[in-house]
Amino acid sequence: MIYVALLRGINVGGHNKVEMKELKTSFESLGFTDVTTYINSGNVVFQAPSKEQDTIVYEIEEAMKRDFQLEIKVLVRDWENMKTICQDLPATWLKNEAMRTEVMFLWENFDNLAVLETLPISSVDNVKYTSGAILWNVKSKDYRKSGMIKLVGTKPYKNMTVRNVNTVRKLYEIMINIASKK
């Protein structure tokens, strides 16, 4: 099965530095194949034997401790969940000079529609829930008015890992490319 691992807090602000080549080697040591890292912020696409996702998360978190001496929270999404998220993302929601679109991947305890009620959503924000994530879009000119900037430090924020829409679409493309090799 094809998965993406999203490591929270890797190479952010000069903290928790991990070289992507070493991260790839660490994943391969777990028996994962077709390991592909994307950009320098803890995104790893890979194939793994069918296992419970909780088991995969545990193995990766233990490898992070063993190989990098880091206590990193890891979120794993399978091909189907990434497909759903990408299908639910409006094609017009982009990350460019005119707008910002973030995909906020949720840990299981916050993965439900009710999470929207806990967010500081502003009138300038377009926010959608989809299984596994919150999709948040705002025009760049309105970003300072967006509730997105009030999210850091909140309980929901501590239970998510965020990627911009371009990264998410690229990760899904990598997953598609791995699947097409089968």
Give CA–CA dist 25/18, Å, rounded: 12
Collapse the DSSP code of 127 into the 3-class scheme (helix H, G, I; strand E, B; otherwise coil) and give the result. Answer: strand
Q: Mind listing the pLDDT tens digit of every residue in the chain (182 residues)?
A: 999 999 998 877 777 889 999 999 999 999 999 999 999 889 999 999 878 899 999 999 999 999 999 999 999 999 999 999 999 999 999 999 999 999 999 999 999 999 999 999 999 999 999 999 999 999 999 999 999 999 998 999 999 999 999 999 999 999 999 999 86
Taken in order of first residue, the domains within the chain and their CATH numbers are: 2-80 (3.30.70.1280), 81-177 (3.30.70.1260)
Give CA–CA dist 81/133, Å, rounded: 9
Give CA–CA dist 150/122, Å, rounded: 10
Pairing between strand 43-47 and 99-106? unpaired
Block residue for tokens 């069918």: 50
